[in-house]
A and B are shown apart, each in its own frame.
Chain A
């Protein structure tokens, strides 16, 4: 049953081969772009630095739609390379070149990552030209014959800068793009190819804006209270974080103490935490870690504190302390949740 079918196929293929060789070269308005592979950068974490990849593909632009070698055969009119220009268009509603968190092109701010596309032609080396969204570059490059049998020529560099990645919210980013060329005999023939870029950004946090808490000299009356505001950044969706607070002056029960330089005398103090800067002390800090919600848009919170520590020393404890200088070092460890 299989033999007759196989024979028919062989006959058809032979017939097609004969037809192709009989076609004479004919001038055509040719432009084409080879496939650009999808770019999945995988997981990215702080310290991984900028991500960049260069793709070299075929951008052909000529007056014949034939895969000629260089030099081409003698045909009339002569087969020649023609100029082409290159562009990348973001297949999303907003203008620009961005990767969007969860592929949602309504995201803005640090829920999208700017992509830098640069292009040059490797056959006629020049500096990379940065591309704007959906706008052809300004260079006229040397288009090859179809299929670039003398070598691929179009070099596209895609870069996600470290700064963009470090400030990005955690999650997976993806956007579809379309690379296009224009050229050919008419100068207006065009061709495109689609690809996507994807990267997953790991969770990250930062505590900043801390200053020392100098309580000064106790005047001999009343409790001493001081507050210190700071910034907590967490790149998770709701900016949630876990905060562990400890100090060398903390005992096993979670109580905090200021100590003199020889650590022979100590003064107890209450330490409270709040994940905002509204009035009031907040939660009493002990041995257990705490949770809060910070800023997930700007790493330094734009210089605006969003959490605070409150230190309270009671007059009775201060009065019982001998003259000296007392201190403690509070350590805050923030982990994104």
Chain B
């Protein structure tokens, strides 16, 4: 069973103008001369998700829930907050098997640290309700700062036909807030 991750980031270019600066001033001819120039820059809202890997859950042992995680990096300009929305190519939190035609439901949690077990449980295609905090570093300082956890309930697994091709592609959509 495999969950493929698709990563999307949404950069929101705020409709702000850098035109606040005053006009440059020219110096007058004299024993000294003073001129000014304004330097201005706009930093728009930006996010980036990176370092996401597939969650290969392997073969279920026949008892108990089955959980897997993926840790990744979410950059947020200024280290500000973001929200995340999960969707799949199966249309819900399901992995599907072509060979058996069965689906297996799963749940998902997300957290802005490396332990999603206590994170927010996600509703399909619904943004997280709790603000998540990103890293101000594009590379998260070379590490990860968020985790996705998917869990398959024992009962759901028991109901599924035997197959080794259960999979879904999960899309993680990150937005600045």
Q: Which residues of A contact B (CB under 8 A)?
A: 45-47, 166, 202-218, 220, 224, 226, 228, 230, 233, 258, 261, 265, 267, 269, 299, 309, 311, 313, 315-316, 318-336
A116, chain B: closest CB distance, angstroms:
21
Q: Are A313 and B29 in contact (CB under 8 A)?
A: no
Residues of B within 8 A of A47 (CB): 30
Which of A211, A319, A322, A335 sits near B138, CB closer than 8 Å? A319
Report chain A residues within 8 Å CB of B137.
316, 319-320
Taken together as a complex, chains A and B put the C-alpha atoms of A26 and B174 apart, in Å, by: 116
| Contact yes or no, A330 B37, CB < 8 A | yes
Once the chains bind, are B38 and A212 in contact (CB under 8 Å)? yes
On whether the beta carbons of B31 and A206 are closer than 8 Å, the reply is: no
Residue of A nearest to B76 (CB): A322
The 7 tightest CB contacts between A and B, nearest first, are A322-B78, A207-B27, A215-B41, A207-B35, A320-B136, A327-B40, A210-B24
Say yes or no: A217-B37 contact (C-beta < 8 A), given A299-B29, A327-B20. no
Q: How far is it, in angstroms, between the C-alpha of A33 and the C-alpha of B142 when the chains are bound?
A: 94
Contacts of A261 in B (CB 8 A): 20
CA distance A207 to B36 in the complex (A): 9
B39 adjacent to chain A (CB < 8 Å): yes
Q: Which residues of A contact B41 (CB under 8 A)?
A: 215-218, 224, 258, 267, 313, 325-327
Contact A322 B77 (CB under 8 A): yes
> Quick one: which of B16, B18, B32, B48 contacts A214, CB cutoff 8 A?
B18
Smallest CB gap from B20: residue in A: A325
Which of B28, B44, B48, B78 makes the CB contact (< 8 A) with A217? Answer: B44
* Complex contact A210–B29 (CB within 8 A): no
Q: Which of B17, B18, B21, B39 has the most CB of A within 10 A?
A: B39
Contact B39 A208 (CB under 8 A): no
What's the Cα separation between A329 and B25 when bound, in Å? 10
| Chain A residue at minimal CB-CB distance from B138 | A319
Closest Cβ of chain B to A209, distance in Å, is 7
Distance in Å from the Cβ of B58 to the closest Cβ of chain A? 37
Contact with B28, one of A203, A206, A226, A267 (Cβ below 8 angstroms): A206
10 extra A-B contacts, CB within 8 A, seeds A204-B29, A324-B43, A325-B43: A46-B29, A205-B33, A208-B26, A212-B23, A213-B38, A215-B40, A224-B41, A258-B40, A319-B138, A327-B38
A230 to B11, CA, bound (A): 36
Q: Are B30 and A258 in contact (CB under 8 A)?
A: no
B87 to chain A: closest CB distance in Å?
24
**Highest count of chain B CB atoms <10 Å: which of A220, A258, A332, A336:** A220
Give the Cβ gap from B46 to chain A, nearest Cβ, in Å.
5
Closest chain A residue to B25 by CB distance? A210
A334 to B32, alpha carbons, bound, how many Å?
A: 6
| Complex contacts, B39 vs chain A, CB 8 Å | 212-213, 215, 226, 258, 269, 311, 327-330
| Among A214, A218, A309, A331, contact of B43 (Cβ-Cβ < 8 Å) | A218
CB <8 Å contact, A212 and B37: yes
Cβ of A318: which chain B residues have Cβ within 8 Å of it? 43
Contact between A319 and B35 (Cβ–Cβ < 8 Å)? no
Minimum distance in angstroms from A198 CB to a CB of chain B: 21
Contact A332 B35 (CB under 8 A): yes
Interface centre among A207, A213, A313 (most CB of B within 10 A): A207
Residue in A207, A265, A315, A329 whose beta carbon sits within 8 Å of that of B33 in the complex: A207
B14 within 8 A of A: yes
Contact sample, A vs B, 21 pairs, CB 8 Å cutoff: A46-B29, A204-B30, A212-B21, A212-B24, A212-B38, A212-B39, A213-B37, A216-B18, A217-B42, A218-B42, A218-B44, A267-B43, A309-B37, A321-B136, A322-B79, A323-B14, A323-B80, A331-B34, A332-B27, A333-B34, A334-B34
Most buried by B among A233, A269, A321: A321
Q: In whole angstroms, what is the CA distance A91 to B31 when docked?
A: 32
CB-CB < 8 A to A320: which residues of B? 78-79, 136-137
B34: chain A residues within 8 A (beta carbon): 207, 331-334
Residues 37-96 of B contacting A (Cβ, < 8 Å): 37-46, 48, 75, 77-80
Q: Are B36 and A331 in contact (CB under 8 A)?
A: yes
- Cα A5 to Cα B34 in complex, Å, equals 73
A258–B176 Cα distance when bound, in Å, is: 23
Q: Which has the most chain A C-beta neighbours within 10 Å: B27, B28, B31, B48?
A: B27
> Which B residue sits closest to A318, measured CB to CB?
B43
B159 within 8 A of A: no
